[in-house]
């Protein structure tokens, strides 16, 4: 069964993908890691394509809603004019059309809201994928530095080179993490540096303190009533 775009992005971000054969990965670790980054670019392009489609549909739905609202107002004026001229039959026809329009307005409004939510979700996908790509680039740079440090006096790296392998994005990201950890002994993109972890912990503590202060303010406000 073909995976949805949401599932694909989720797997890329989570990094929990099918295992690859170790012999294949070790044959060209840097090539696989670079391929994983290129696959992220492909996923971003796919998400942006869907985002463009959603944006176009949202524009059309918004335009249709504006047209229907304008038509509803015109019919109200025409119905009033028809009654003023003693043409109740024409006024009745205008009112009937108004009722038909009123039945469609909630559907259009709901569609616009739905497309707005979809747009926000896709924009979140792009942001998350770009963040993942930055992490992977940082890890690739660290990997290259570790390989250079292990190079022989002649400047030839101790690692082996081989042919590049064309993996899907889901598998490539998982391979990236495993290769990096196996080659360097460090955590892959799912991990964070000690400095980053400390900053995240500080940020979490700050957010918690802010929530506590907000809760206390609410309690004080209730007590003063």
Q: Which domain holds residue 117?
A: 5-149+167-191
d(CA 88, CA 220): 62
Q: Identify whether 156 is part of a domain.
A: no
Residues 38 and 136 in one domain: yes
Residues 96 and 183 in one domain: yes
What pLDDT tens digit does each residue of the chain (225 aa) get? 456 776 767 666 665 333 333 434 555 667 777 777 888 888 888 888 999 999 999 999 999 999 999 999 999 999 999 999 899 999 999 999 999 999 999 999 999 999 999 999 998 888 888 888 888 888 778 877 877 777 655 544 444 443 333 334 455 555 556 655 655 555 555 544 556 556 656 676 787 788 778 877 887 777 777
Q: How many domains does the chain have?
A: 2
Token pair of 136 as six digits: 């992977």
Report pLDDT for 91.
92
d(CA 123, CA 47): 8
Q: Identify whether 136 is part of a domain.
A: yes
Residues 107 and 187 in one domain: yes
Coil, strand or helix: which one is 154? coil
Classify residue 190 by burial, with Cβ atoms within 10 Å: 0-12, 13-18, 19+.
middle
pTM > 0.85: no
Residues 115 and 211 in one domain: no
Q: Is 185 left (phi over 0), alpha (psi -120 to 50) or beta?
A: left
Report pLDDT for 157.
47
Report pLDDT for 199.
66
Q: Identify whether 38 is part of a domain.
A: yes
Report pLDDT for 219.
76
User: Could you say which DSSP state residue 17 is in?
Assistant: -
| Burial track 86-125 (b if 16+ CB lie within 10 A, e otherwise) | eeeeebeebeebbeeeeeeeeebeebbeebeebbebbeeb
Residues 177 and 204 in one domain: no
Q: Which of 144, 120, 130 is nearest to 51 (CA)?
A: 120
């Amino acid at each position: 069964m073909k995976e949805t775009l949401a599932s694909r992005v989720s797997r890329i971000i989570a990094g929990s993908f099918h295992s690859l054969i170790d012999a294949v990965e070790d044959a060209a670790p840097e090539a696989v890691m670079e391929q994983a980054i290129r696959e992220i670019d492909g996923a971003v392009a796919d998400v942006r394509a869907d985002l463009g489609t959603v944006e176009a549909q949202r524009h059309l739905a918004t335009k249709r809603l504006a047209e229907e609202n304008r038509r509803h107002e015109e019919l109200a004026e025409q119905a009033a004019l028809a009654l003023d001229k003693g043409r109740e039959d024409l006024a009745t026809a205008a009112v009937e059309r108004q009722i038909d329009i009123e039945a469609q307005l909630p559907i259009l409004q709901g569609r616009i809201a739905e497309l707005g939510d979809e747009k926000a979700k896709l924009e979140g996908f792009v942001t998350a994928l770009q963040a993942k790509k930055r992490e992977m680039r940082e890890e690739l740079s660290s990997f290259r530095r570790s390989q250079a440090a292990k190079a022989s006096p002649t400047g030839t790296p101790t690692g082996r080179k081989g042919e590049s392998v064309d993996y899907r994005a889901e598998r490539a990201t998982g391979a990236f993490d495993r290769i990096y950890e196996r080659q360097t002994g460090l955590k892959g993109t799912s991990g964070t540096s000690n400095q980053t972890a400390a900053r995240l912990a500080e940020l979490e503590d700050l957010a918690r303190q802010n929530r506590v202060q907000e809760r206390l303010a609410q309690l004080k406000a209730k007590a003063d009533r």
